[in-house]
Chain A
Amino acid sequence: MTTTPAHLHDPAWNRRITACIIALVILWPMLVMAEFKPWILFDAQSLQATWQFLTSFFPPAHSLEFLYMVAYSTWETIAMATAGMTLALLGAIPMTLIATERLSISRLGTGRMARCSMLLRQIVRWLLILLRSVPELVWALLLVRIVGLGPTAGVIAIALTYCGMLGKVYADIIESSDPSACDGLLRNGSGRLSAFLYGTLPASASELVSYTVYRWECAIRGSVVMGFVGAGGLGQRMDESMKMLAGDELATMLLVFIVLVACADSVSAMLRRRLE
């Protein structure tokens, strides 16, 4: 047997081995923390429970009464997302107008904002950050305790989180557009609102609308998830069926949900294509 010639040695061999060892050393405690025990999936009891649950998926529940209920909850989910988005827009648009630096008049000559307006802008920005940093599910969890079970909590939770997200992204989109038109209007004494409407909006409108539509799609997915903490809609029905281990009902609702997401996806893609 011959030894491998020197030029065939892998020059990166040592580095690779070290990287592997380091990865294992980091991965090991993580596996322990996440209680990563794949074998419990395969012990007899768990297999039996899973099997029973999965076999109860077929055939999916299809009694007329149940389907009517599912249709109603699906509409409730869509309505929650739409109403939440509308409220979020009502909050986000004024906050964007306050927060964006593009509409600052004191900035024009010197490039530096007056202290007072800078403070105001910063406060609005912090508010937007706070609104979107709390996950929507946590908002829903808290709001369910205030307004009780039902879609109201979900709508307000969507409105709060998405207000933060929309406000931030709107401000970013506006600030990354070409400043010359808006600056020219402001310099020549136009009001802020008209400078925004005629100088900034035409250039960034399609991007703004496109992002809004995309967020609406996300809100539909989000409102299903929020149902799991009792905020109404399809999610709440899923949670109830889950707790009763009614696999057939769950199967129907999962199918409906997949179709709903696919529809929202294609509607939003269609709308966004129209904007191009």
Chain B
Amino acid sequence: MTRPTTSLPPAPRIRYSTWLLLVILVLLVVTSFVSLQLKWHEFFSREAIATTLEFLRGFSPPEIAPAFLMRIGNATLETLAMSAIGTLLAALFGLFLSLPASGRFGITARLITRGALNVLRSIPELVWAAILLIAAGLGPFAGTLALAMHTTGVLGRLFADTLENCPSLAENTLRINGVSPASSFLYSTLPHCSPQMMSYVLYRWENNIRAAAILGVVGAGGLGQMLKYHLSLFQMHQAATVIIAMLLLVCVVDAASFALRRRMTR
């Protein structure tokens, strides 16, 4: 038996900072588990498993009375309407805010608007919904506004980036030839960026349908509100139907967006 003629190249050296990061990571994970006081015994003990099974058994059979299914259908439509209008509002406001955020009105306006958009974006829909309940009252309107708030932050920033990355040749040409700033924007940059913006809007709408389904757990309408209601009254059969409806909604939206994407990119 001969020794292999080629020796392996030396292993790449690992930087000290990488080691440091790995140690920090392990520490983070360990302290997380230690500090949380997780109640595993309440989840994995024999009686816990028995109560869990009983809890799950309570769900079957799902309620399928026609009257109830009608209500589910209504709530689903409400969820869809909330997401569509929320996204539409967000697209309008986002476009409006993206103009200063893309630096068209000076650097100060850009910084301020970007900061505002970041705040809008970093507060999740559900937290917005909880806050807006005070102004808009219980019901789908609060949910719609909450979706609009969060999505305005997301879309405004994406739109601003799109506008900033758009080549400015066409608009500059119009400006040099004496067209007003508004029309040169409307006739050159906006049409150039609109396909990209449209795809962002559709993508966010897809996300918002999913978000709208659960927003209701704080009382903001749609399927989530039904789920919360029936779960708090321990009407498990009805709750099971609502969960199935949510799953179906999510799957249908996923499949539709997948099919659309396939068709558009082919």
Q: Mark B178-217, 1 if CB is under 8 A from A, else 0.
A: 0000000000000000000000000000000010011001
Those of B229-262 within 8 Å (CB) of chain A: 231, 243, 246-247, 250-251, 254
Which residue of the partner chain B has the closest CB to A260? Answer: B122
B74 to chain A, nearest CB (A): 8
Which of B36, B126, B247 neighbours the largest number of chain A CB atoms within 10 Å of its CB? B36
Those of A136-163 within 8 Å (CB) of chain B: 137-138, 141-142, 145-148, 150-152, 155-156
Known: A137-B217, A141-B217. A155 touches B131 (CB 8 A): no
Chain A residues within an 8 Å CB radius of B141: 34-37, 40
Q: Which of A4-12, A79-87, A190-198 contacts B (4 or more CB under 8 A)?
A: A79-87
Instruction: Please tell me the size bucket of the interface on A.
Output: 35 or more
B133 to chain A, nearest CB (A): 8
Those of B121-152 within 8 Å (CB) of chain A: 122-124, 126-127, 130-131, 134-137, 139-141, 143-144
B131 to chain A, nearest CB (A): 7
Cβ A152 vs Cβ B39 within 8 A: yes
Chain B residues within an 8 Å CB radius of A148: 39, 42
Cβ A40 vs Cβ B137 within 8 A: yes
Cβ B85 vs Cβ A135 within 8 A: no
Known: A86-B29, A242-B130. A135 touches B246 (CB 8 A): yes
Q: Is B228 an interface residue (CB 8 A)?
A: yes
Q: Which of B64-72, B76-84, B100-108 contacts A (4 or more CB under 8 A)?
A: B76-84
For the residues of B in contact with A, the DSSP-based class is helix
Q: Which of A46-54, A107-115, A117-125, A170-178 contacts B (4 or more CB under 8 A)?
A: A46-54
Q: Which of A62-70, A98-106, A224-232 contacts B (4 or more CB under 8 A)?
A: A224-232
Q: Is B33 an interface residue (CB 8 A)?
A: yes
A181 to chain B, nearest CB (A): 16
Q: Is B52 an interface residue (CB 8 A)?
A: yes
Known: A34-B81, A86-B29. A49 touches B43 (CB 8 A): no
CA distance A141 to B141 in the complex (A): 23
Cβ A76 vs Cβ B36 within 8 A: yes
Cβ A50 vs Cβ B135 within 8 A: yes
Which residue of the partner chain A has the closest CB to B126? Answer: A225
Which of B37, B42, B55, B124 neighbours the largest number of chain A CB atoms within 10 Å of its CB? B124
Q: Is B221 an interface residue (CB 8 A)?
A: yes
Cβ A242 vs Cβ B131 within 8 A: yes
Chain A residues within an 8 Å CB radius of B126: 137, 225, 228
Chain A residues within an 8 Å CB radius of B21: 271, 274
Those of A21-75 within 8 Å (CB) of chain B: 27, 29-31, 33-37, 40-41, 46, 49-50, 53, 75
Q: Is B168 an interface residue (CB 8 A)?
A: no
- Contacting B36 at CB < 8 Å: which of A29, A80, A221, A261? A80
CA distance A254 to B124 in the complex (A): 11
Q: How many residues of B contact A (CB 8 A)?
A: 61
Which of B29, B126, B227 neighbours the largest number of chain A CB atoms within 10 Å of its CB? B126
- Contacting A146 at CB < 8 Å: which of B51, B78, B122, B224? B51
Cβ A254 vs Cβ B123 within 8 A: yes
Chain A residues within an 8 Å CB radius of B84: 30
Chain B residues within an 8 Å CB radius of A206: none
- Contacting A145 at CB < 8 Å: which of B43, B88, B231? B231
CA distance A53 to B28 in the complex (A): 37
Cβ B134 vs Cβ A53 within 8 A: yes
Which of B51, B52, B123, B135 neighbours the largest number of chain A CB atoms within 10 Å of its CB? B135
Cβ B28 vs Cβ A257 within 8 A: no
B43 to chain A, nearest CB (A): 5
Cβ A36 vs Cβ B214 within 8 A: no
A83 to chain B, nearest CB (A): 4
Which residue of the partner chain B has the closest CB to A84? Answer: B32
- Contacting A225 at CB < 8 Å: which of B51, B80, B88, B124? B124
Closest 6 CB pairs of A and B: A79-B32, A33-B81, A30-B81, A82-B32, A261-B122, A34-B81
A→B interface (CB under 8 Å): 27, 29-31, 33-37, 40-41, 46, 49-50, 53, 75-76, 78-80, 82-83, 86, 133-135, 137-138, 141-142, 145-148, 150-152, 155-156, 221, 224-225, 228-229, 235, 238-239, 242, 245, 250, 254, 257-258, 261-262, 271, 274
